[in-house]
Structure 1
Amino acid sequence: MKAAFFETTGTPEVIRVGDLPTPQPKESEILVRVTVAAINPLDAYIRGGLAPMPFPKPAITGTDFAGVVEAVGSGVTRFKAGARVWGSNQGVLGRQGTCAEFVCTDEKWAYPTAEGVSDEQAAAAALTGITAHLGLFHRTKLQAKEFVFVNGGTGGVGSMVIQMAKAVGARVICTVGSDEKMALARELGADWVVNYKTEDVGARVKDATGGAGVDVWFETVPPTDLDKTVEIMAPRGRIVVMAGRAARPVFPNGPFYVKGLSLFGFAMFNMTAAEQQVCADDMGRWMAKGAVKALVGARFPLAETAQAHQLQEDNTIRKAGTLSGKIVISPT
């Protein structure tokens, strides 16, 4: 099979595209013919050596996938050959990735693709959607009518946070960096959109919440100033952090505990299959009825996976601002 892989960490140029043996499903695994794969910042971190993690050699890159079950292992009970499926959690913790014509995955990491949902949408929504769901519902127990603030409303995770929060009746405030992205965030359902480059974020949040403050703050970028975050939180508010491996912001201990705040951190790939299944079930329903959609920012053929990594790295690490949404890869 054709695959995009690397044998040592480094710049995007370490990625090669060539032939590798087609994997065979073990007892609890399914073999999926990949129609669409997707990459994430995590893929760039792993390939670049910034997220030390065991990986096979050669290591196929890519976290997310959608496609059709080609074969199943002897112990598989959830899927049969011919079923449309999607999933994530590949390319991490020693598992092979998805930028290939085929991928083997344990059936617990795969989910049925809902009728009417395209493979591109399913793959593009995978990691970012599960991440957003975990933060909003598993960690902070978001409720209807609460105020949610998300930094980067048109990013992969941020766009999912907006839509999922609105799906349960919450009120959403987000930041963006351009007029074009302001319009996109509003299309996604954000109630208030703030241009962080030209507006006072704290003042706008105070105005939006009537001075009450934010109930859930979802931080999708490396935090740099927790003082400002804590200042605009509502009493007993919840803060989510899930980005910024090297971030070391000063922690405002006094105002944090006086307000009775909570701080939640998590990495999606460390969450259990059962925890992520809950996310996938909701996502399937929401995507089927059009309440949640993935933003696709760029499309690449398998042969240009290195260029896709470069685009991801430029925007994740260098903050180029040239990408809104997910990068998808077509193996065929």
Structure 2
Amino acid sequence: MKAAIIRQTGAPDVIEYGDLPTPEPRPTEVLVKVGAVAVNPIDTYIRAGVVSMISHFPYIIGCDLAGTVEKVGSEVKRFKAGDRVWGSNQGLFGRRGSFAEYASVDERWLYATPAKQSDEEAAAGALVGLTAHMGLFLHAELSPGEVVFVNGGSGGVGSSVVQLAKAAGAFVITTGGSEQSMDICRKLGADLVLDYNSHNLDDQIRAFSLPHGGIHVWFETQREPTLDRTVSSMAPRGRIILMAGRAARPEFPVGPFYVKDLRMIGFAMFNGSPEEQRAAADKLNTLYEFKRWKPMIGKVLPLSDAPLAHQMQEDNTLQKQGTIHGKIVLTP
């Protein structure tokens, strides 16, 4: 089979596209004929060696996938050949990556694909959909009528947060850096869309949120959080989700934080148990079927363009170029 692999960590050009043996599924694994995969920031951090997750080389890159079951191991109970599936969490903690024509995946990390959802959509929504759902509901315990703020509502996680929060009956504030990205946020259903370059951004956020008591859930997607600003905008007993910014060391406003009874939750989706992730996946599938959740695709490339895809992801994550709205998807 063809696969995108690395033999050492480094820049995107360390990615090779070549031949590897097609894996044979172990007893609890499903062999998936891959229809589509998606690129995530965590993929680039692992490839670059910033995050240590690689157990051996050559290493197949990639977390997300969607495709069709080719065959199953002897102990698999939930799937059979011909089923369409999607999943995430590959390439982590010793699991094999997803950027290949075939991937052998433990059935605990796979979910049925809705009949009308394409493999491209399913892959695009995998990690970001699970991240948004688990952050909002498992960790922040979002309730209808609360106010959610998320930076970058046209990005992968941001667009997922906007849609899932709206589907739950929340009021959503988000930001964009261009008229195009702001228009995308409006179409996703955000109640207030602001230009994050605005000189009075915080005043606009407060003007909308204060009649509701402030912001109840602040979903921080930025790599450099500004906690003084965040805490000042929060409602009493509000929840702040931190899921980005590994190297960030911001100042922390202890007094304003504790007198509001606030909670701050550190959250990495890949730490979720198989049961927690499956519960979120089932909800995402239902929301898709009821047209309340649609993963955003920004670019589709062939799998052989994996080095280019990683470079594009880094340009948008690290350099903030803003050239991609939604996920970068690759097809074998």
TM-score category, normalised to shorter length? over 0.9
Give the superposition deviation at 1:327. Answer: 0.7
Give the superposition deviation at 1:23. Answer: 0.4
Give the superposition deviation at 1:260. Answer: 0.6
> Equivalents in 2 of 1:93, 1:156: separation in Å?
23
**Aligned with 1:94: secondary structure?**
coil
Matches within 5 A, 1:164-179: 164-179=164-179
> Equivalents in 2 of 1:224, 1:172: separation in Å?
19
Tell me which amino acid in the other structure corresponds to 1:299.
Answer: V
RMSD (Å), alpha carbons: 0.9
Tell me which amino acid in the other structure corresponds to 1:270.
Answer: N
**Aligned with 1:280: secondary structure?**
helix
- Equivalent in the alignment of 1:296: 297
**Aligned with 1:278: secondary structure?**
helix
- Equivalent in the alignment of 1:313: 314
> Equivalents in 2 of 1:321, 1:42: separation in Å?
18
TM-score, normalised by the number of residues in structure 1: 0.98
Describe the superposition over 1:193-236 as per-residue Cα deviations: whole angstroms up to 9, x where unpaired. Answer: 01011242211111112352100000011233100000000011
- Equivalent in the alignment of 1:50: 50
Give the superposition deviation at 1:17. Answer: 0.3
Give the superposition deviation at 1:54. Answer: 2.8
- Equivalent in the alignment of 1:226: 227
> Equivalents in 2 of 1:298, 1:49: separation in Å?
25
The percent of aligned pairs where both chains have the same amino acid is: 53
Unaligned runs of 5+ residues in structure 1 are: none
- Equivalent in the alignment of 1:143: 143
CA contact (8 A) 1:63 1:97 kept: yes
- Equivalent in the alignment of 2:204: 204
CA contact (8 A) 1:56 1:96 kept: no
> Equivalents in 2 of 1:85, 1:262: separation in Å?
36
> Equivalents in 1 of 2:54, 2:66: separation in Å?
24
CA contact (8 A) 1:124 1:327 kept: yes
Tell me which amino acid in the other structure corresponds to 2:227.
Answer: L
Aligned residue-pair number: 331
Describe the superposition over 1:44-93 as per-residue Cα deviations: whole angstroms up to 9, x where unpaired. Answer: 00001111123331111111111000010000000000000000001112
- Equivalent in the alignment of 2:243: 242
TM-score, normalised by the number of residues in structure 2: 0.98
CA contact (8 A) 1:125 1:294 kept: yes
> Equivalents in 1 of 2:125, 2:193: separation in Å?
22
Unaligned runs of 5+ residues in structure 2 are: none
Describe the superposition over 1:152-180 as per-residue Cα deviations: whole angstroms up to 9, x where unpaired. Answer: 11110000000000111111000111111
> Equivalents in 2 of 1:52, 1:317: separation in Å?
19
> Equivalents in 2 of 1:118, 1:324: separation in Å?
19
Tell me which amino acid in the other structure corresponds to 2:179.
Answer: D
- 4+ runs of 1 displaced by more than 3 Å? none
Give the superposition deviation at 1:146. Answer: 0.3
CA contact (8 A) 2:175 2:196 kept: yes
CA contact (8 A) 2:156 2:327 kept: yes
- Equivalent in the alignment of 1:9: 9
CA contact (8 A) 1:34 1:101 kept: yes
> Equivalents in 1 of 2:176, 2:26: separation in Å?
45
> Equivalents in 2 of 1:41, 1:118: separation in Å?
23
> Equivalents in 2 of 1:54, 1:99: separation in Å?
15
CA contact (8 A) 1:56 1:95 kept: no
> Equivalents in 1 of 2:280, 2:55: separation in Å?
26
> Equivalents in 1 of 2:55, 2:163: separation in Å?
33
- Equivalent in the alignment of 1:189: 189
> Equivalents in 2 of 1:118, 1:14: separation in Å?
30
- Equivalent in the alignment of 1:66: 66
Tell me which amino acid in the other structure corresponds to 2:268.
Answer: A
> Equivalents in 1 of 2:55, 2:293: separation in Å?
32
> Equivalents in 2 of 1:283, 1:301: separation in Å?
26
- Equivalent in the alignment of 1:328: 329
> Equivalents in 2 of 1:68, 1:243: separation in Å?
32
CA contact (8 A) 1:297 1:324 kept: yes
Tell me which amino acid in the other structure corresponds to 1:313.
Answer: E
> Equivalents in 1 of 2:65, 2:139: separation in Å?
25
**Aligned with 1:117: secondary structure?**
coil
Tell me which amino acid in the other structure corresponds to 1:10.
Answer: G
CA contact (8 A) 2:46 2:54 kept: no
Tell me which amino acid in the other structure corresponds to 1:5.
Answer: I
Tell me which amino acid in the other structure corresponds to 1:256.
Answer: F
> Equivalents in 2 of 1:179, 1:252: separation in Å?
33
Describe the superposition over 1:121-170 as per-residue Cα deviations: whole angstroms up to 9, x where unpaired. Answer: 11100000000011100001000010000011111000000000011111
